Structure 1
Amino acid sequence: MTAPKGNELRDLLPEDAFSTPKLLNGQGFQLRPTRVKVYKPTGAPVYFYDVVTDDNTRVGIANLILEKDSQQVSELGHVCARLSEDQDSVELLKQVGELLISHGHECGLTEIRIVVPEQSEKSVQACASIGKICNKAYLDRNGEKFVWFGYSANGNSEQTA
């Protein structure tokens, strides 16, 4: 899954009034908030998490960009989750994605986009298995091929390929 680059983010300023991200509980894991940054192109908050198993083992990282206009993150996506190399569970990756999508909807996002490199089979498989896919399309960015998945709060959009 794609994530914002460091130069696309800035630290919080005193005048930034974003809520503190909450701990998100999944089945057998938690998303523990680690920090909040700001996505420079739009000023949206970006929540960063550690993916931690119930036995307190850190197995990955994740982030959620709370940008209401999905076109503003059309080539990046709202959600990114990456598991450590020793974690090969597509199911865990799917569950992390589902939890972030659900939380994004709770925070007021109506459509959430995830963008993954086409060659990342596990990420494509995890995203494709998340319910309520309403859009799926392919994009080419600087010679690299990506797949984006859109998840609507109401699930009513038509799927494209």
Structure 2
Amino acid sequence: MTAPRGNELRDVLPEDNISPPKILIGEGFEIRPSRIKAYKPTGAPAYFYDVFTDDNTRVGIASLILEQDPQQVSEIGHVCARLSEEHDNPELLKQVGELLISHGHECGLSDIHIVVPEQSESVVTACESIGTTCNKAYFDRSGEKFVRFGYSAGGGV
């Protein structure tokens, strides 16, 4: 999954009034907040997390941008999750994605995007298996092919 680049983020300013993220608990894992940034184009909160198993082993990273306008994140997505190579598990990746999407909906996002390089077959498969995909679009960026998955709040995610 793609994530915002450093030049797309800035430190949080006092006037941003961004609430701290909460720990997200899944079945057999937790998504723990690690840092907060703001998405430069709009000032939306960008939460970064570490993914831990119940035995307190760090197995990956994740992020969630609480951007209301999906067009603003159409090339990077709202949600990103990556598992370490030694803990690569498509079912866990799917569950982490589902939990982040669900949390995004709880935070008021109606449509949430995940963007994946088209050649990342296992990640594409994981995204396809998340709830009901309201849309799936292909696009090119700088010669690379990507798939954008869209999940709506009423889509059963």
Q: Identify the TM-score tier after normalising by the shorter chain.
A: over 0.9
* 1:44 maps onto 2:44 in alignment: yes
Q: CA deviation at 1:121?
A: 1.2
Unpaired runs of 5+ residues, structure 1, are 157-161
- Listed as ranges, the matches of 1:141-156 within 5 Å are 141-155=141-155
RMSD: 0.9
CA distance in 2, matches of 1:153, 1:16: 26
Q: What number of residue pairs does the alignment pair up?
A: 156
Aligned AA for 1:154? G
Deviations 1:22-65 (A, max 9, x none): 00000000000011100001110001100000000000000000
Deviations 1:89-122 (A, max 9, x none): 1000000000000000000000000000001112
2:118 matched to which residue of 1? 118
- Listed as ranges, the matches of 1:48-127 within 5 Å are 48-127=48-127
Structure 2 length normalisation: TM-score?
Answer: 0.97
What secondary structure sits across from 2:14 in the alignment?
A: coil
2:19 matched to which residue of 1? 19
Unpaired runs of 5+ residues, structure 2, are none
What secondary structure sits across from 2:18 in the alignment?
A: coil
Q: Which runs of 4+ in 1 moved over 4 A?
A: none
Aligned AA for 2:28? G
Aligned AA for 2:95? Q
Aligned AA for 2:98? E
Q: CA deviation at 1:88?
A: 2.2
State the identity %: 76
What secondary structure sits across from 1:133 in the alignment?
A: coil
What secondary structure sits across from 1:102 in the alignment?
A: helix
Structure 1 length normalisation: TM-score?
Answer: 0.95
